[in-house]
Amino acid sequence: MANRYWVLGTGTWDSTSTTNWSTSSGGAGGASVPTASDNVFFDANSNVLATAFTVTMATSTRFCNDFTASGLDGAMTLAGASIGLAVSGSLFWPATNFTRTYTGLTTFRATTTGKTITTNGVAFGAVTFDGVGGGWSLGSALSCTTLTLTNGTLDLAGYTATLSLRLTTLTGTKNLTFNGGTILCTNTSATAFNNGAPINFTTTAGTGTGVISMTSASAKTFVGGGSTFNCTLNQGGAGALTITDSNTFSNITNTVQPASIIFTAGTTNTFTNFNLAGTAGNLITIGSATAASHTLSKASGTVSSDFLSISRSTATGGAGWYAGANSTNGGNNSGWIFTAPPSGSNSNFLMFF
């Protein structure tokens, strides 16, 4: 493993040119092009005086171990047309003087844990986590178009990851750890959250409450894949939220109303807590995607909702499912009680007499 420092300002980071690479900060150029095991640095000595400079990635995917841009005294642009960046270690982008314009895929491919990703408000395009045994923690919020989990553990570490297109899982052993962080899927799509490869996909709550929020104002789909989500799934946009497959959730909530939550008929979704509720004149609609019933299951306690419109829904599992006195029975329901819960009962608490 070696260190490579960018020098002499604007230049091309391709597979052959050594002009802009040095073995020391501000040193002479001519060092070899960094490999996947080399750390690359962009700092106050990377440019000429304090001028702006552009590093254009070219040829093919550029590789490095750690990528560190820090202490820049001129505006740096990391550019490249459909050229990816593959990082084997950690990544740090500074809060100022840094712009990303490259349009290729950013791949994090560490195979050990303890890596950090700090983007300081700079958005990625498409991002993939694909390192067997790798572990990455966010050092700040993350924004990207697509986020693909293939191998390794991504720890949100309490921060917000915002995906403007989708989250996808691919075949591999992958984990999403929340530690109070949030995945925000903003797109209108049948694959806004697409757990397409649920085998060996796990989630970990960690400390605090993790959230996956689907915020599009138009229809969107949560492809659960039958996994266990140790987090809250939130209906966060006015567009109908379709939930496919038989999944397990820590909680389900809504932060907008009116809105719909549509389950695939024939599925059973299991909840530790169930906190969907509308308001007067703004109902939360619970239904099935087709003309058959779905099942909602909660093992114990009391569901205490109100202002719901429910149809084709079987509520079961052992909990008391109280839809509330202001909810509407749309028909073909089972297990729902269309009254408020008995006085003294409280969601998620056991009662002792």
Partner 1 sequence: MTMKIDFSFSSQYGTFSDALHLPDDHGLSDEQIEAMKQQRFDNWIFVITAPPTEEV
Phi/psi zone of residue 77: left (φ > 0), alpha (ψ -120 to 50 degrees), beta? beta
Tell me which of 31, 85, 184, 315 binds partner 1, using CB under 8 A: 184
**Smallest gap, in angstroms, from Cβ of residue 338 to partner 1?**
29
Per-position b or e across 105-122, b if 16+ CB within 10 A of its CB: bbbbbbeeeebbbbbeeb
Using DSSP, state whether 244 is helix, strand or coil: strand
Longest C-alpha distance within the chain, in Å?
80
Side-chain-side CA neighbours of residue 256 (13 Å):
17
Report if residue 187 touches partner 1, rule: CB under 8 A: yes
Report if residue 292 touches partner 1, rule: CB under 8 A: no
Strand partners of residue 254: 235
**Nearest to partner 1 of 158, 335 (CB atom):** 158
Report if residue 324 touches partner 1, rule: CB under 8 A: no
Burial of 74 (0-12, 13-18, 19+ CB in 10 A): middle
**Smallest gap, in angstroms, from Cβ of residue 82 to partner 1?**
6
DSSP code at position 239: S
Amino acid at 98: F
Strand partners of residue 41: 5, 68
Stretch that binds partner 1, among 28-36, 90-98, 298-306, 307-315 (CB under 8 A): 90-98
Q: Which phi and psi angles does 5 have, rounded to 5°?
A: -110, 135
Tell me which residues in 189-228 interact with partner 1 (CB under 8 A).
189, 211, 213, 215
Tell me which of 12, 61, 113, 160 binds partner 1, using CB under 8 A: 160
**Nearest to partner 1 of 32, 282 (CB atom):** 282
Report if residue 61 touches partner 1, rule: CB under 8 A: no
Report if residue 94 touches partner 1, rule: CB under 8 A: yes
Report if residue 234 touches partner 1, rule: CB under 8 A: yes
Tell me which of 46, 169, 177, 182 binds partner 1, using CB under 8 A: 182
**Smallest gap, in angstroms, from Cβ of residue 189 to partner 1?**
8
CA 318 to chain centre: 32
Q: How many residues bind partner 1 (CB under 8 A)?
A: 40
**Both tokens of residue 55?**
């590093």
Report if residue 150 touches partner 1, rule: CB under 8 A: no
Report if residue 186 touches partner 1, rule: CB under 8 A: yes
**Smallest gap, in angstroms, from Cβ of residue 205 to partner 1?**
16
**Smallest gap, in angstroms, from Cβ of residue 180 to partner 1?**
8
For residue 53, which of 91, 97, 86, 23 has the smallest C-alpha distance?
Answer: 97
For residue 110, which of 85, 135, 93, 128 has the smallest C-alpha distance?
Answer: 135
Interface residues with partner 1 (CB under 8 A) are: 70-71, 82, 92, 94-95, 103-104, 118, 120-121, 123, 125-126, 139-141, 143, 145, 158-160, 162, 164-165, 180-182, 184, 186-189, 211, 213, 215, 234, 236, 255-256
